Amino acid sequence: MTSQAKDIEGEVTSPPRWRIIGPGLVVAATGIGAGDLIATLVAGSRYGYALLWAAVAGVIIKIALVEGAGRFTLATGLTIFQGWRRLGIWTTIYFGPYIVLWGFVYGAAAMSSTALPLNALVPGVPIWLFAVVSGLLGAVIVWFGRYKMFEYVIAFFVGLMFITVVGAAIVTTPNLGDIIGGLVPRIPDGALVYTLGIAGGVGGTITLAAYGYWLREKKWTTPRFMKVMRIDNAMAYVMSGIFVVAMLIVGAELLYSAQITLADGDAGLVTLAEVLGDRYGTFMTYFFLIGFFASSFSSILGVWNGVSLMFADFLGEVVGLPDDDPRRRIGGTYYRGYILWLTLPPMLLLLLGRPISLIIAYGVLGALFMPFLAITLLFLLNSKVVPKEWRNGWVLNTVLGAVAVIFVVLGVNELIRAVS
């Protein structure tokens, strides 16, 4: 870009430039956690390359959702929660309990996930100790660090993920013909819900809505950043798509052909590290476990920062603070209060186990968030609060409408699983 542009005050400024390290990389790295890696790994182990197209479709879905959240913020100057408030009080009634309960349970899950590969690397240390240290370390980094430093830390862990996860896929010597065949849409018998889960469930939930807050911290705050935001978002999710495809390749080549069954949950990635070690040498075990840790810890950092920003904005809006009140921003009182909420109370779950009623409530609210995001974006991006040139056209409305339907189906399925 070489032409000049005018900022919101009308002054001539240099055009914004896109760099590979940006808010898109942060949201993508945060969204791709251990749970997403295991989901695509299991897909490959059960169905080979049959669901590769669904993983690619999932990348497109996330690009559409995050672009919508970013476009709303840049076009209006409002945060996503301020937009939700314009849809009625019901959004506040839903989002308030959700972000509190979600943070409590997610904090324990994220710390446990990060502790698993560390425990496998150093077996003599208890998992709970690694979990506590991971949570505290993540809290310290986002508590004192500024956004620019936070981006570089995330980039470091993304680099580790890329080297280890993609490296694991390469050593399995994938069949190019089978990969191309997997891009043809088809649904194996009895795999409809699983297919929707791969397409819609990989790559983040509430963290997708945090994108607009990271744009603000990056100081991308006006419509002149629209093009650079779209490039940033698309490139970041292409990278996350590479991670997802790499894990599906590992599942297809290493597990599907040998009919190897993984352990349940995140522990399946520890099992995979052992399988890689048996097949390619002990080095591959440690190599992959480092990538597993990078994936989990980058999610801790992203959530501790991004969702804390969302909470600070939510609470500041509810109590009527001005937009520029420091309590609503990174490093503010509300931001740091939510970091503590993510870190300290969940440690009780690490020591005492997770009460079944809390898990059911979390499952119910979690199943409803992605439909909530897709449907509210559909309304907001067609509303008068968005300048006409930045509203949805029929193509974007069709895509977001289809995404909303997918997430409603997934949400109903998760509700049934939660209560049963």
How far apart, in whole angstroms, are the C-alpha atoms of residue 60 and residue 68?
12
Does residue 33 carry a pLDDT above 70?
A: yes
Residue spans per domain, the chain: 17-419
How far apart, in whole angstroms, are the C-alpha atoms of residue 138 and residue 142?
6
For the chain, give the percent of residues with pLDDT over 70: 87
How far apart, in whole angstroms, are the C-alpha atoms of residue 407 and residue 420?
20
The whole-number average pLDDT for the span 357-375 is 69
Does residue 20 carry a pLDDT above 70?
A: no
pLDDT of residue 418: 64
pTM metric for this prediction: 0.87
Single out the residue of 328, 376, 382, 397 nearest to residue 92, CA to CA. 376
Per residue in 56-65, pLDDT (tens digit) is 888 888 888 8
pLDDT band at 358 (very low <50, low <70, confident <90, very high): low
E strand or H helix at 124, and its extent? none
pLDDT band at 70 (very low <50, low <70, confident <90, very high): very high
E strand or H helix at 172, and its extent? none
Identity at 125, one-letter amino acid code: V
From 123-137, 350-364, 392-406, the region with the lowest mean pLDDT: 350-364
| Average pLDDT value over all residues in the chain | 84
CB 34 within 8 A of CB 266: yes
Secondary-structure class of domain 17-419 per CATH: mainly alpha
Per residue in 121-151, pLDDT (tens digit) is 998 888 889 999 999 999 999 998 788 888 8
- Comparing 199 with 359, the larger pLDDT belongs to 199
pLDDT of residue 339: 97
CB 272 within 8 A of CB 61: no
In sequence order, which ranges of 122-166 are alpha helices (DSSP H)?
Answer: 127-144, 147-161
Most confident of 172-181, 218-227, 368-377: 218-227
pLDDT of residue 39: 77
Does residue 263 carry a pLDDT above 70?
A: no
How far apart, in whole angstroms, are the C-alpha atoms of residue 145 and residue 166?
29
Lookup: tokens for 10: 């009308």
Buried b (16+ CB within 10 A) or exposed e, 3-25: eebeeeeeeeeeebebeebbbbb
For the chain, give the percent of residues with pLDDT over 90: 31
Per residue in 315-348, pLDDT (tens digit) is 999 999 998 898 888 989 999 999 999 999 999 8
